[in-house]
A and B are shown apart, each in its own frame.
Chain A
Amino acid sequence: MSIAAKEAGARQESDVVLRYLRPHVKFPNMWCPGCGNGVVATSLIRAIDKLGLDRDNVVLVSGIGCSSRMPVYLDFQALHTTHGRALAFATGVKFSRPDLKVIVITGDGDSLSIGGNHLIHACRRNIDITTILINNYIYGMTGGQISPTTPPGAHATTTPYGSAEKPFEACDLAKGAGATFIARTTVYHTTQMDRLMMEAIQHKGFSLVEVISNCHTYYGRLNRLGQATALLRMFQEKASVQDKGTNMVDDRTKDMIPTGIIHRDSEKTELCDEYQKLIDSLAKGKPA
């Protein structure tokens, strides 16, 4: 690619984000200065734009939490639902209208705590929904309580002496439950994030992209980790980017954040496809 073409492409990418913001919404956005949610939002826009999806057919479904406010700003079809239930609503949207591209924006508390049941069942069904799980290790909107991903010993307003609990690994959970595309990235790794989101959206089946993000306002402050930039540097240091497009080796034993495609299964059948086969066979007069 020539330098000129590369530059033209780059300019388009930074401009493109503005074209996908809602005209009726007030900016600046409601997130804290430096919050990773905005980084994820821009990455998602670039991925959708690069894939050339018709924005009228893209449905963003979210639950409750800081990350779940994202569909307010992004000009697609949007369903900002109840706490933890985004995947249930998304299942209704996708199953009734398989022609739509359904993307769920959720947080660690929303999808792994109150919504844990819906997450594992959406994985199990392998319904063609892309879930962007923004994991910042804490409840931000309610003011810094522990979440199911808070590391042991970490401080939160409900664990003032350090957490005695063990956390969930969202990607392992999704893999065990049957999701067929699972990837992890961080808000520092924006180029990788763009690519993983594109792959996840293109994947036929249930896809999960866990984005490790920063809540410096609560998680950073209560655990003395510094401001947004410090957390981003931490992600840079700890991430082991080993994605070569294959299922990767887990090296969390070294206190690292493995990033890249963690699991991919293109063999498993997708729910809406299977049900359509049933509809077709019944229409021909013979049950499957």
Chain B
Amino acid sequence: MNKPSAVETKTRVIKKSKIDYSQGPPPVSINAAWCKACNICISLCPQNVLAADIEGKPVVAQEENCIQCGACWTHCPDFAIKSNYK
């Protein structure tokens, strides 16, 4: 197998979510105790919803951007992300 290209910067147009999260929980909750800070969720999120905290674990930074694609929680190897879709 050849070397992969470096992780690309996402260039997708950010769509505004139709959902208003201001009244309830954030779109995803992260179980920091189970998270091992692998960076997959942050990297795969097409909307830059997640950002790394000081330990490298994800925190919800721009919840209004979430389009509920599921990339973060279906790729989490540590059973640590839960979707809070309403």
**A contacts B directly in the complex (CB < 8 Å)?**
yes
B36 nearest in chain A by CB position:
A33
A255 CB contacts on chain B under 8 angstroms: 1-2
A27 nearest in chain B by CB position:
B34
**Shortest Cβ distance from B77 into chain A, in angstroms?**
3
Contact among B5, B8, B18, B78 for A38, CB-based, below 8 A? B78
Per-residue CB contact flags for chain B residues 68-86 toward chain A (1 = under 8 Å, else 0) read 1010011111111111111
Q: Known: A18-B82, A187-B75, A229-B43. Is A34-B7 also a contact (CB below 8 A)? A: no
B74 CB contacts on chain A under 8 angstroms: 39, 42-43, 190-191, 194
Q: A11–B39 contact, CB under 8 A?
A: no
Per-residue CB contact flags for chain A residues 195-231 toward chain B (1 = under 8 Å, else 0) read 0000000000000000000000000000111111111
* Interface: A17 (CB within 8 A): yes
**Is chain A's interface secondary structure helix, strand, loop, or mixed overall?**
helix
Contact among A73, A151, A228 for B39, CB-based, below 8 A? A228
**Shortest Cβ distance from B12 into chain A, in angstroms?**
14
Per-residue CB contact flags for chain B residues 5-42 toward chain A (1 = under 8 Å, else 0) read 11110000000001000000000100001111111100
* Interface: A28 (CB within 8 A): yes
The 3 closest A-B pairs by CB, nearest first: A38-B77, A34-B38, A234-B4
* Interface: B44 (CB within 8 A): yes
Q: Which of A28-70 contact B (CB under 8 A)?
A: 28-29, 31-39, 41-43
Q: In the docked arrangement, what's the CA distance between A18 and B83, Å?
A: 12
Interface residues on B, range: 35 or more
Q: Which of B18, B28, B35, B74 has the largest number of chain A CB atoms within 10 A?
A: B74
Q: A229–B44 contact, CB under 8 A?
A: yes
A228 CB contacts on chain B under 8 angstroms: 38-40
Interface residues of B (CB under 8 A from A): 1-8, 18, 28, 33-40, 43-44, 68, 70, 73-86
Q: How many residues of A contact B (CB 8 A)?
A: 49
B8 nearest in chain A by CB position:
A233
Binds B, one of A2-10, A75-83, A107-115: A2-10
B86 CB contacts on chain A under 8 angstroms: 7, 11
Q: In the docked arrangement, what's the CA distance between A190 and B40, Å?
A: 13
Q: A39–B4 contact, CB under 8 A?
A: no
Contact among B3, B36, B85 for A8, CB-based, below 8 A? B85
B70 CB contacts on chain A under 8 angstroms: 10, 13-14, 190-191
A250 CB contacts on chain B under 8 angstroms: none
Q: Which of A34, A35, A194 has the largest number of chain B CB atoms within 10 A?
A: A34
**Shortest Cβ distance from A121 into chain B, in angstroms?**
30
Q: In the docked arrangement, what's the CA distance between A38 and B76, Å?
A: 7
Q: In the docked arrangement, what's the CA distance between A32 and B73, Å?
A: 17
Q: Known: A8-B85, A232-B40. Is A28-B34 also a contact (CB below 8 A)? A: yes
Q: A226–B4 contact, CB under 8 A?
A: yes
Q: B85–A39 contact, CB under 8 A?
A: no
Contact among B1, B43, B68 for A238, CB-based, below 8 A? B1
A15 nearest in chain B by CB position:
B82
**Shortest Cβ distance from A253 into chain B, in angstroms?**
14
Q: In the docked arrangement, what's the CA distance between A226 and B1, Å?
A: 13
